[in-house]
Structure 1
């Protein structure tokens, strides 16, 4: 179960740290809401384009080692991240719980559109329909299939690793309550987490930790 801290070594800012996106923009949650999209679609588009897109970012060792474990059938990944880096790393058994910024569709005709077109303009060149990414905005619901797939992975797991997340965003954080009751929980994070159950806290830089993981 991973969050934005997994992608900061790839040059993508997180949200809630002292240097995160939400620190610099006090209204960030509103700018990332369906209400803002509905009231000012042009403003919404420009905010996303200027603050969330890092198309030159590449997967780092954390993504790569996790992807390798999934390719071996030994793991699955449930991530809050919407930056596409797990996809680029070739991750299997991947649940992008909040969607993916690089999957774009036209709200008028439903057609998928390359993200490169979206970064040029927010309107579909065939029917002028408004384009948007397949991400969950504030005041939108999580896709049921993502909930179901996440619960299935957690019920199958003998070890749950939480990495690079404050673990304060719900319903993502609430998924842990549905884990296999026999599963051990390990947290790999630079900031310690307080969780209401027994777990192993590895307070370390996740890059350093995963560089030492053999797959």
Structure 2
């Protein structure tokens, strides 16, 4: 049976493909406070602004490309079972070739109904407009887990982490809960590696590679040979 590699990725993974993150910009995301564009209250207060913000992010994503770290993780599937659990809302893991990806915080390339959350639509890189509705007449919104909302994929992600033979953490500060709590679901004897160029959060017994995602993942993959 193949070893199961579980990879937990955060904003640092996408940053090396040119996608900015609010945590690297003093609490601003493309000059917007997250409280103006990433909460249910913000959407209720100024729907047009929030939709425009995510439409811009979608256009930015359309021109971004998977980096070498994305591709290296996909290539591991030739030898291992690999599950990527990502806090990122982009589709770079999928475009990089990964076949098993769990999105904790939603997906930018999807829309869902405001009143009927089970109605989710693949929209690719198209805009969502005010007045654009689902088949039951409710306004569409980005399929994103905003601050203050539940993380519906968290239980599934925790189940996956419990089956890991290796846990690789890339590009996340491990400061945002509940996602950060996933590291505590791993079996005590499973090796953990943290790829982070700065001062990482404390992870007991983790091997730390103090490099960015591309170089750090390359080093880790080479160590598996």
C-alpha contact 2:28 2:34 (8 A) present in aligned 1 = yes
Match of 2:11 among 4, 22, 27: 4
Q: Tell me the distance in 2 between the aligned counterparts of 1:198 and 1:64.
A: 27
Instruction: Give the corresponding residue for 1:118.
Output: 127
Instruction: Give the corresponding residue for 2:56.
Output: 50
C-alpha contact 1:106 1:113 (8 A) present in aligned 2 = no
* More strand as a share of residues: 2
C-alpha contact 2:62 2:125 (8 A) present in aligned 1 = no
TM-score, normalisation: structure 1: 0.85
Give unmatched runs, 5+ long, in structure 2: 1-7
Instruction: Give the corresponding residue for 1:175.
Output: 182
Instruction: Give the corresponding residue for 2:91.
Output: 84
Q: Tell me the distance in 2 between the aligned counterparts of 1:125 and 1:34.
A: 17
Once the two structures are superposed, the pairs formed by residues 139-178 of structure 1 within 5 Å of their partners are 139-143=148-152, 146-178=153-185
Q: Tell me the distance in 2 between the aligned counterparts of 1:61 and 1:203.
A: 17
C-alpha contact 1:71 1:92 (8 A) present in aligned 2 = no
Residue 25 of structure 1 deviates from its aligned partner by: 3.9
Distance 1:118 1:21, change over 3 A: farther
Instruction: Give the corresponding residue for 1:32.
Output: 38
Q: Secondary structure at the match of 2:193?
A: strand
Q: CA RMSD in A?
A: 2.6
Residue 7 of structure 1 deviates from its aligned partner by: 0.9
Give unmatched runs, 5+ long, in structure 1: none
Distance 1:123 1:116, change over 3 A: farther
Larger RCO of the pair (alpha carbons < 8 Å, separation 6+) = 2
C-alpha contact 2:191 2:206 (8 A) present in aligned 1 = yes
TM-score, normalisation: structure 2: 0.81
